[in-house]
Structure 1
């Protein structure tokens, strides 16, 4: 069975930070359950080309580089930092879903 593309994007986005990637997983799964992203949303993301997915991963990496550094350098509890990281990640995922959905609607309307 193929891995959920959202989890795949998360893992690719934070592959340079394996500790963060691992420790953030519970927050990721919790947010996935909370948002109730359905099969249709996942299917929309799966229509994106590999090149565009790579661009999304790079954008997520860049936007979260400072936060990842803060998490790595912090000796304090990191709960809030991980929540912030997951929120930031899902903002990009939601923007991606909205973009693909709007492109499909635009094409259907002849735009």
Structure 2
């Protein structure tokens, strides 16, 4: 198992914005605890092929691109923008976890 696939996805999604990674990683970790992201959730993401992980990263980059360019987010002077970015990020993570979970259930039911 990887160290933490969600952190890996976050870092790859915002690799062009090191200040965002540095400033928002603590908020990301706190939100993972609040959302009760567990080993099963991580395992579901880890079961995805790397091409699908790349698609997740791409969607996160597209969704958050305009937000990342805002100076207030890069210098972390507006915490609300940081929270918005983290919320957008986890929306995509949850959608991906749900997709894998639903595919597994569908296969088990013979679909």
- TM norm. shorter chain > 0.5: yes
Partner of 2:94: 94
Contact 2:45 2:100 in 1 (8 A): yes
Aligned mates of 1:76, 1:30 — CA distance in 2: 17
The size of the alignment, in residue pairs, is 109
Partner of 1:42: 42
- Structure 1: unaligned runs, 5 residues or longer: none
Aligned mates of 2:37, 2:2 — CA distance in 1: 16
Contact 2:13 2:60 in 1 (8 A): yes
Question: Offset at 1:35?
Answer: 0.7
Question: Offset at 1:2?
Answer: 3.2
Structure 1 pair 76/10, CA: closer, same or farther in 2 (3 Å)?
Answer: closer
Q: TM-score, normalised by structure 1?
A: 0.93
Structure 1 pair 76/18, CA: closer, same or farther in 2 (3 Å)?
Answer: closer
Aligned mates of 1:23, 1:52 — CA distance in 2: 27
Partner of 2:55: 55
Question: Offset at 1:108?
Answer: 0.6
- Structure 2: unaligned runs, 5 residues or longer: none
Secondary structure at 1:104 match in 2: helix
Aligned mates of 1:6, 1:23 — CA distance in 2: 16
Q: TM-score, normalised by structure 2?
A: 0.93
